[in-house]
Amino acid sequence: MKIDWDVKTIEDSLFLIPLLPLLGAAALGLFGRRLRRPDVHLIACGTVATAGLLVALILLPMAFPVLFASGPVVSIGSTLGTWFSAGGISVAASLFVDHLNAVLALVVSGVGLLIHVYSIEYMAEEKDYARYFAYLNLFVGFMLLLVLANDLVLMFVGWEGVGLCSYLLIGFWYDDDAKALAGRKAFVVNRVGDFGFLLGIFTLLALFGTTSIQPLGTGGDSLAGAVRAFGPGRLGAVVSSGPLAALGLTYGHAITLACLFLFLGAAGKSAQFPLYVWLPDAMAGPTPVSALIHAATMVTAGVYLLARLSFLFALSTTAMAMVAAVGAFTALFAALLACAQNDLKKVLAYSTVSQLGFMVLAAGVGAWWQAVFHLVTHAFFKACLFLGAGSVILACHHQQDIRKLGGLRRRMKSTSATFLIATLAITGVAPLSGFFSKDAILHFAHAAAPAGPAGVAHLAWIVGTLAALGTAFYMFRLYFLVFEGEPRSEQAAHATERGLAVTIPLWILGALSVVAVVWGWPWAPFAMTTRSGLREPLFQNFTSPVFGLANRILGVDPAAAHQGLLGAMALALAVAWAGLGAAWWLYRRGGIAKLAPLFERRPVRWIHALVAHKFYVDEVFHFALVLPLRAVATLAFHLVDRRAIDGFLVHGPARVTGWAGRALRYLQNGDLQRYAAVMAIGAVVTVAFVLSVGKDLFQLFGGN
């Protein structure tokens, strides 16, 4: 029996998906102070849940086409109309859903809902809870807009919107200067990336004359359509029309340029080196916010952008190599930094940067579905880790220093169990989800990377494997320090588990980190066997319509992608267990004490200091960027603002008016007849003027 229901029927209500949370945000923002707490919760969770339900309704026929009479659905879209058009540019307010962003939208609304529920408990003692939930809803709305937009300009709206919400939520406790500053830093660093994104949009606009991603319904211009129509020899041709014609670029160069700009945007949002600096500071916000925005969803927007425009990046070997290199470097760099952090949330923050590095690496070597799959699994286990961290922070009265925690396993059973599951998942211990997502990326980079100079992919593989080792080490270091051993502070000794609103989301996310295995496991039940006899993981099969174009351009050999799969799995397991073992020996068996003398030795001490100080990147930025900018700003303040604007433009007219008044005062003597005489003279002169040239004017305006 098949379900006789056509997904196209909800095409017209597609816009409701981002609109509902936005409406919720508006309601909470405007009337939140007058609402009772349960009503606020109901509005906040209800709108997100409804949006999630709508997404699920669309996703069902996509995931299980067998059950539906309508057959497989590739994508649905709807256009509300033209948002604006100027000159030859026309931007449509159009949304669309395909296999890629349906999954992401579900993750956003699903994880978003869990975190909303979790926040009810976490923010229970917060007075300004309505504002908090308004921001959170606003975020979910903008994130859904970002994910569902079928136009880069519309996507940019969501992109800026989530950046705004990130800023608002990081600085949620704005009366704390440090937190407000962290929010500002996140905003300013993100501006750099956003600027790149904008330049990328402009370049694409100049090149293709459209910013629409997929052709919808009647067709029209779109980037995917333009790339599909691209002949093989076209990349070498010189751009001869449009605004870029004057530059004498070839199409290949122009696309590389656009991709690099877009990647700059992605790097800003997804915290890639060197624009990652804002993410660790963003931990100043409430912990559920860190889980939702700075781990699960917003920071993955950059990866989504890369996956969304995969067909475009596939055209540019240089851009792909750049993406892969930056991703690999970020993964290793952040993993190293995470090893030397002592703040619970900071470790997780660097871990997020590192995992985002993996995703970007994947996008750079052409492992599109692996990148998105890792994005999804990462959303589950990292959200779980952050919520677990939030639970610990709540239980230990905001004690976040892992050196002062410990022994929480016995006191917080749910938290520690789910934290362990998530840790195992992120580490890549089989058979949890991280094993099939992260290690699938590394395997693909090693075995089948067709993009770019082969050296980059292989280098990415080596660096990525090292980063995976680091991941295993720092995650278990964190786990052992926080949950095992004896409590090292008063707060840790008296920690107690919170209520169901905390533990239920934890267990759901923990379970999802396990269950997600099914989608990435080549031998899982329901996994497809391709015509050439290869086992295709569910997720790969599911997203294949989205990445078909990019894979065709890259020329990925599916058979090569399967070579050495077992060997890669063995290596991944070995790396995971090695990291686990090292952490166990150091932090569980007292290895750190035995190594203490080694840390006294000079080069080791230096290296440790270097890592512990995060390679002084913040300091470099401070001296190289912040101080010069501040100097320029001071100069501008004294010279431009004080002198030019205040002195000349503001006081200048006042002074001139004063002088003029003093000078003209003598004309204004109150003698009525003098005024009358002046008026008469003026009138006569005017009449004389009109009469002398009036005829010419008369003829000028068409008189005879």
Partner 1 sequence: MPSLPSPSLLTLAATFAPGVILEHYLLLAAILFAIGMLGVVTRRNALTMFMSIELMLNAANLTFLAFARVHADLSGHVTAILVMAVAAAEAAVGLAIVIALQRVRGTTNVDEVRTLKL
Partner 2 sequence: MSSFLASLTLEHWLFYPLALLTIAGALGVVLARNPLYGALSLISTFFFLAAIFILAGAHFVGILQIIVYAGAIMVLFLMAIMLLALDAKALGRRRVTLFKLVGGLFSVGLVGLALSFLGLRQGARGPIMWIRIPYQKLPEGFGSVAAVGDLLFREHLLQLEAVSLLLLVAIVGAVAVAKGKI
Tokens 């996507």 sit on residue: 155
User: What's the DSSP call for residue 334?
Assistant: H
672 binds partner 1 (CB under 8 A): yes
Minimum distance from residue 682 beta carbon to partner 1 (Å): 12
Are 223 and 208 in contact by the 8 Å Cβ rule? The answer is yes
Of these partners, partner 1, partner 2, none, which one is at the site of residue 559 (CB under 5 to 8 Å by kind)? none
703 binds partner 1 (CB under 8 A): no
In this structure, what token pair is assigned to residue 114? 């869990």
- Using CB under 8 A, which of the segments 282-290, 332-340, 564-572, 669-677 binds partner 1? 669-677
Nearest one of 494, 497, 483 to 405, comparing CA atoms: 483
Residues 623-662: x where in contact with partner 1 by CB under 8 A, - otherwise, as a string: ----------------------------------------
Are 144 and 58 in contact by the 8 Å Cβ rule? The answer is no
Half-sphere exposure in the Cβ direction for 117 (13 Å, CA): 18
Are 300 and 376 in contact by the 8 Å Cβ rule? The answer is no
692 binds partner 1 (CB under 8 A): no
User: What's the DSSP call for residue 432?
Assistant: S
671 binds partner 1 (CB under 8 A): yes
Nearest one of 9, 201, 205, 14 to 95, comparing CA atoms: 14
Minimum distance from residue 693 beta carbon to partner 2 (Å): 10
- Using CB under 8 A, which of the segments 71-79, 130-138, 513-521, 664-672 binds partner 1? 664-672
Minimum distance from residue 674 beta carbon to partner 2 (Å): 5
Cα 331 from Cα 316, distance rounded (Å): 23
Tokens 């998906």 sit on residue: 17
Q: Is 448 helix (H, G, I), strand (E, B) or coil?
A: coil
685 binds partner 1 (CB under 8 A): no
676 binds partner 1 (CB under 8 A): yes
Of these partners, partner 2, partner 1, none, which one is at the site of residue 669 (CB under 5 to 8 Å by kind)? partner 1
Cα radius of gyration (the chain): 30
670 binds partner 1 (CB under 8 A): yes
The smaller minimum CB distance to partner 2, of residues 494 and 695, is found at: 695
The smaller minimum CB distance to partner 1, of residues 219 and 670, is found at: 670
User: What's the DSSP call for residue 239?
Assistant: P
Of these partners, partner 1, partner 2, none, which one is at the site of residue 247 (CB under 5 to 8 Å by kind)? none
Q: Is 342 helix (H, G, I), strand (E, B) or coil?
A: coil
Tokens 């649905």 sit on residue: 76
Cα 518 from Cα 587, distance rounded (Å): 33
Task: Enumerate residues 512-571 that contact partner 1 by CB under 8 A.
Answer: none
User: What's the DSSP call for residue 82?
Assistant: E
669 binds partner 1 (CB under 8 A): yes
Of these partners, partner 2, partner 1, none, which one is at the site of residue 695 (CB under 5 to 8 Å by kind)? partner 2
Cα 635 from Cα 621, distance rounded (Å): 20
Choosing from 592, 677, 688, 693, the residue that interacts with partner 1 (CB under 8 A) is 677
Minimum distance from residue 660 beta carbon to partner 2 (Å): 22
Give me the residues that bind partner 2 (CB under 8 A), please: 671, 673-674, 676-678, 680-681, 684-685, 687-688, 691-692, 695, 698
Kindly list the residues in this chain that would bind partner 1 in the complex (CB under 8 A): 669-673, 676-677, 680, 683
